[in-house]
Amino acid sequence: MLLYLFLATILSGQYISGQFGPFEQDFGYVTVRDGAHMFYWLFYTTAEVENYTDRPLIVWLQGGPGGSSTGIGNFDIMGPLDLNLEPRNYTWVKNFNVMYLDNPVGSGFSYVDDPSHLTTTNDQIALDFVSLMKGFLEKHPEFQGVPLYIYGQSYGGKMAVDMAIRLREAEEAGDIQSDLRGIAMGNAWISPVDATLTWGPLLLAAGLVDEAGYESIQAAAREAERLFNDGQYLASTNAWSATQRAVFSATTNVDFYDITTKMPAWPDTRSDDAMEIMLRDGITREQELSLNTIMNTLVKPALNIPDHVVWTASNNQVFTTLNADFMKPVTDGIEKLLNETDIILTKYNGNLDLICSTPGQMLWVDRLKWDGAEAYRNAPRLPIWEDDRLEGYYKAYGNFRFFWINVAGHSVPRDNPAGANAFLRDMTGFP
């Protein structure tokens, strides 16, 4: 079916050599460090504007770490074409220029000459991003001064925090002519211990576990917390993985990305199977197989990707290299951005998610130390109405806002496009 659609596009004259599909686009590599090559795929907005630079540039970051934005974010979540290679009616490209970034290096079509060039910390990821943006703006100087927003899902939201810090530093130093206006952290892995500790209570409140199941989950979660507090960060990551296995056992494989559904049975209970869930960032095995076909047999030759680069939905080596950094929070960075910059920080969450649960997000938000903390706590929580339908709630003060999105799991833009419109409009003024 996919091959048929691809050939039909070619025969209909819509396919232009050097791109994939009929949408105006640009793509390429930036060598962010010696031996480290990052791939981006930009889609120009289809909005009826005089010039595409009249609309902001949104950078989309997938989670994992190691998930591919050019595959998952693009085809599965909100790019111009869906997994059937049909036009998507709620794509963000209708209102924005959207750049999908395979980040960290090693993810998707990005690659390294040697594994030693993979990143080990969130700050290294952020520095690579600044290098990427410098290379991108050298090729596309028309985007200098265009409002820039970074939207990160899951681990992508964690990466966005340090990216904002490093990019703003580069802007203030005059090293780059970008105009970062805001970041969005979608179902984000901001404070991993907080998230993990809320799995048991959320599942118990939803009636998905009994007291015995709750206790087994919480025992594993508390061990992950203990190890983290002792500075045993790699061991804490392993204990987090054990907590996932406890959830599987107690719930008979509840879907970590939508608690109203069930994941397929896993072949065994090895720790790497549990980690694979985080790497998948919300896609099923069937969707991954479909993406592998699209990316390696159709997109790869169309975009002239080097032969030695094989696209995967998620790169285990990227994840493993960041294992010791995985459980570390980035709340200090959020406080720095709130206290020292005018960058808008949007936190949005699908309420059906477990892995980055809404209760876990609220814990760290309530502990933030910033000038507007008390005013934010006292701000009203207001409903989000879209076309006479209640899509969730929001709360805001200064440059921080929190969006609770109904009928959505881990990937809000895909699960509830109307709800996503609310936080897009709030941050950017469009649509």
Of 128, 325, 353, 415, which one is the catalytic site residue? Answer: 353
Q: Where in the chain is the domain with CATH 3.40.50.1820?
A: 18-191+326-428
> Is 308 one of the annotated active-site residues of the chain?
no
Enter the tokens of residue 350: 């699908």
pLDDT class of 282 with cuts at 50, 70, 90: low
Cβ distance 55 to 49 under 8 Å?
A: yes
Task: Tell me the pLDDT tens digit for each residue of 336-355.
Answer: 999 999 999 999 999 999 99
Quick: pLDDT tens for 192-213. 999 999 999 999 999 999 999 9
Residues 385-424 pLDDT 10s: 999 999 999 999 999 999 999 999 999 999 999 999 999 9
pLDDT at 124: 98
- Read out DSSP for 336-357? HHHHH---EEEEEEETT-STT-
Residue 355 to residue 346: CA distance in whole angstroms? 19
Residue range 11-47, pLDDT digits in tens:
333 333 478 999 999 999 999 999 999 999 999 999 9
The CATH number for 18-191+326-428, chosen from 3.40.50.1820, 2.60.40.420, 1.10.274.10, 3.40.50.300, is 3.40.50.1820
Give phi and psi for 344, each to the nearest 5: -75, 130
- The percent of the chain in helix, strand and coil, each rounded to the nearest 5, is 45, 20, 35
pLDDT digit string, tens, across residues 152-175 = 999 999 999 999 999 999 999 999
| Residues 136-146, mean pLDDT to the nearest whole number | 97
Is 353 in the active site? yes
Mean local confidence (pLDDT), 93-111: 98
Q: What is the pLDDT of residue 273?
A: 53
Q: Of 154, 216, 314, 357, which residue is the catalytic one?
A: 154
410 is catalytic: yes
Active-site residue (options: 117, 410, 411, 426) = 410
pLDDT confidence band for 269 (50 / 70 / 90): very low
pLDDT value, residue 9: 40
